[in-house]
Amino acid sequence: MKRLLLILVFMAVAISGCMEEGPGEKALSASELQVQAVNSADNLSSYSLISSANQTLELNTSAANATSANVTTIMESVTTAASVNLSAYTAKASGLTRSRVEVPGQAANSSSLQADFYQIGNSTYVHESNGNWTHLKDPRSAEEIWGSGNNNQVKTLANSINQSSVQIVGSEMIEGEDTYKLEIMTGSGEYNNLYTTAFSLAAKMIQYPMLIPSINSTELNETSEMEKLVWISKETNMPRKYMSSMSFKMTPSIVGGMDPSTGQMKMFNQSVRMGQISVNIETTDLYYDFNKPTQIVVPEDALLVKPMTPEPIQVVSQT
């Protein structure tokens, strides 16, 4: 469900310090935990999730050194609480998006958006903050949408852990449950994601495709810091918590743009250097209520809304 459409809720998670294994306990290896997490998540029938994602950008509006007088700060956060019944093909999520822009010499500009989501089989119901409902009906069957663990985010996380290099860095209590704390080692995939994230932000800042951005990969690699942690239950072997953080600095340049007279993209003879952008992104997912009976019912007023069904895309073959 692509992190259930919205990601994410500030919350206090009760975590104790590192703990040693008790007498008689058999400590599992990292590779054993990886395999057992996949096996446990594969038989999951339902789960709940609380997630949060926070992004902070500091834009130096001058190509010179940054000072408090020329730094604009943009903060965005998305919080989500969700329940998923995999066996019944149903899910519910409530999401809140907040944004705040701080420009030197101006009053801060804040906004928020609340929305509720229900997915019942191949129907998605969206309740926006203005009180309106939208009903989207997927032309695919519920089996196609939900089959093969498509909406099992716990299984997706377990598979990702199993395909990564990990090391056990301790034990911690998560919501009263003893867990193994694992660090996911940084690999080439993380650096590819770093570059994609940086380029996407640069493109958004300069309004691509009207202008074409370029970023310095050397600066990106030298300033980047990344960390991924996962906590796996010692009792159920299920992933209980996942946390990631990414920070970097980049100084984008504009290397081309659209020629208004021809509508074609054109490269500049000389690039235009922009100010430096500092980026910090943090995400947290907390999983609970594994295999707990969950009944998800759509409000009656949502059922009165006429569904909208997108037209299937037809691929025309040429011979």
CB of 300 closer than 8 Å to CB of 128 = no
What is the predicted pLDDT for the residue at 299?
95
pLDDT class of 312 with cuts at 50, 70, 90: low
What is the predicted pLDDT for the residue at 6?
36
Q: Give the architecture-level CATH label for domain 30-303.
A: Clam (2.50)
What is the predicted pLDDT for the residue at 14?
30
Torsion over CA: 134, 137, 138, 141 (sign)? positive
- Work out the average pLDDT over 41-46: 93
Beta strands in the chain (DSSP E): 46-60, 71-85, 90-102, 109-120, 123-128, 133-137, 166-174, 177-184, 211-214, 225-233, 239-250, 253-258, 265-273, 277-288
Its pTM stands at 0.83
Axis crossing angle, helix 153-162 with helix 30-42, rounded to the nearest 10: 150
Is residue 91 classed as helix, strand or coil in its secondary structure? strand
Q: Give the residue, 16 or 105, on which the prediction is more confident.
A: 105
CA angle 215, 216, 220 (to 5 degrees): 100
> What is the per-residue pLDDT across 200-253, written as a single tens digit (0 to 9) for each?
999 998 888 899 999 999 999 999 999 999 999 999 999 999 999 999 999 999
Token pair in block for residue 128: 């926006």
What is the predicted pLDDT for the residue at 64?
54
Of 169-173, 247-251, 308-312, the poorest mean pLDDT is in: 308-312
Side chain identity at 231, as an amino acid letter?
W
